Amino acid sequence: MAMSDRGPTAVPAAGASPARRLFGTDGVRGVANVHPMTAEIALQLGRALAYHVRSGPHRHRIVIGKDTRLSGYMLEQAIASGICSMGVDVRLCGPLPTPGIAFITQSMRADAGVVISASHNPYQDNGIKFFSRDGFKLPDEVEAEIERLVLGAPGEEEGAEDFRALRPTAKLIGKAKRIDDAIGRYVVFLKSLFPRELTLDDLTIAVDCAHGAAYKVAPAVFEELGAKVVALAVKPNGENINDACGAVHPEHMARAVAKSGANLGLALDGDADRVILADEHGNVVDGDAIMAIVARDMLRRGALAQHALVATVMSNVGLERAIAPLGGRVVRTQVGDRYVVEEMRRSGHNFGGEQSGHLVFLDHVTTGDGVCAALNVIAVMLREQKPLSELARCFEPVPQAQVNVAVREKRPLDGLPGVASAIADVERALGGDGRVLVRFSGTENKARVLVEGADAKVIQAHADRIAEELRKALA
């Protein structure tokens, strides 16, 4: 991974951690039924997670939830079998947003949570990610330990033989039970986050659920708080998740806002841990703009811890400019909502997120939550008595050009002379008026190029040049 970033609060790319063989920036992910996203690996991951949480003779419990992908049935059963084979009980939630599983895990005092989802990816893909008992994603070192248990060498870890030999029998085998009211519990929790003195009466909201995990939860939350809901993409069939809808394709939701006369619209991704909004005119409002709106409100109310929000190196420099007049600043991390949360917990911040719409309100939730984020923006609208279009004017993005390049392998970029030369040339051309970020995706076989600068046409040409060199070297 290589990066060049001249932003005032830039951080280096990910450090020299050992190469991962299973886990990426958001769990294990890939094409369903192709390694590593197979039933066999899922079973072993379930066993390894159960082994990790065992700590004494009492019965242990792990919560499992999923999105609406066809392959979710296969992986759910495999993971549950692996967990039960280690003498740990399973609680099945069925389709529920990723933040809902984090909430259920924490509220039930379960030992861990499992989410089966590939988030914004197409239905052919799937993924597995873990939460600890406190509702936060497992740290890198614990994922590495689980990876070693599943794959073995190199470096057989202490306890590997015990892990493989542990085979409880008779009544010590784990049991699986479904949580029938998981959706209701999560809906009640989300409604409790909305200020009691406010109401959604007289608001019309278009809610695009991406045919994903929130297809029941999200409409229910807004309806029960008083809004008229225009429900979109709420008929999952196992194959249509994220298909021309949701946060990946917010134009679908934006058109519905304009057509229905809604006050705003929101588009969730497949597991509803991120959201993209549209104002009353159908103009898209992305994660950076949402962070600017909410951070400014929190600064005015004295609610933004340390007068800072946490964002990644992908966020636009316009975010700093939006909150600086109110005494706010931006702390940057490497890409990935897990790293945003880790920085927030380490440094005592309470709000952060990503341009893609992962927004974390650490005073209330432990991971990105699209519905929670939308509720917070609506609260600002109601307190300010302003439409979303007016609030969004606080954020003026600097032109960015982003290009994704499909790659067959992820080799160190500093070992690719043509790519390194192109990056250096673009940096010289931009001088101090822009920045370059080139990195590999942690969830897909893609290289991502971002160039930021004053002239949109110029930076697009720069981004295209770097992307072409990446294609020559890695496509």
Residue spans of the domains in the chain: they are 32-180, 186-394, 400-474
Say if residue 2's pLDDT is above 90: no
Average pLDDT over residues 442-470: 92
Q: In terms of residues, how long is the chain?
A: 475
Taking Cα atoms as reference points, which of 272, 417, 274 lies closest to residue 355?
Answer: 274
Indicate left, alpha or beta for 382 from its phi (over 0: left) and psi (-120 to 50: alpha). alpha
Distance in angstroms between the alpha carbons of the first and the last residue of the chain: 16
Contact call for residues 93 and 115 (beta carbons, < 8 A): no
Spatial separation of the C-alpha atoms in residues 59 and 113, rounded to whole Å: 15
pLDDT in tens, 272-312: 999 999 999 999 999 999 999 999 999 999 999 999 999 99
pLDDT at 13: 36
Q: Which residues contact 98 (CB under 8 A, 6 or more apart)?
A: 65, 115, 117, 119, 129, 213, 271, 272, 273, 367, 368
| pLDDT single digits (tens) 183-217 | 999 999 999 999 999 999 999 999 999 999 999 99
pLDDT of 450 above 70: yes
The reported pTM is 0.88
Residues 137-151 pLDDT 10s: 999 899 999 999 999
Look at residue 158 and tell me whether its pLDDT is greater than 70.
no
Buried b (16+ CB within 10 A) or exposed e, 13-50: bbeeeeeeebbbbbbbbbbbeeebbbbebbbbbbbbbb
How confident is residue 332, by pLDDT bands cut at 50, 70 and 90?
A: very high
- Fold match, 32-180 / 400-474: no
Over the stretch 85-141, which tens digit does the pLDDT of each residue have?
A: 999 999 999 999 999 999 999 999 999 999 999 999 999 999 999 999 999 999 989
49, 130 in Cβ contact below 8 A?
Answer: yes
Active-site amino acid positions: 119
The CATH number of 400-474 is: 3.30.310.50
- Enter the tokens of residue 218: 């999200």
Please provide the average confidence, as pLDDT, over all residues in the chain: 92
pLDDT of residue 414: 87
CATH of 186-394, one of 3.40.50.970, 3.40.120.10, 3.40.710.10, 3.90.550.10: 3.40.120.10
Q: What is the pLDDT of residues 334-389, one digit of tens each?
A: 988 999 999 999 999 999 999 999 999 999 999 999 999 999 999 999 999 999 99
pLDDT value at residue 17: 45
Q: When comparing pLDDT for 381 and 15, which is higher?
A: 381
Q: What are phi and psi of 191, to 5 degrees?
A: -65, -30
In angstroms, rounded to a whole number, what is the distance separating the alpha carbons of residues 96 and 67? 6
Copy the structure tokens of residue 2: 């290589």
Q: Tell me: pLDDT of 157 over 80.
A: no
The more confident residue out of 227 and 338 is: 227
Q: What percent of the chain has pLDDT over 70?
A: 94
User: 32-180 has which fold?
Assistant: Alpha-D-Glucose-1,6-Bisphosphate; Chain A, domain 3 (3.40.120)
Q: Report whether pLDDT(83) > 70.
A: yes
Confidence grade of residue 18 (pLDDT, cut at 50, 70, 90): low
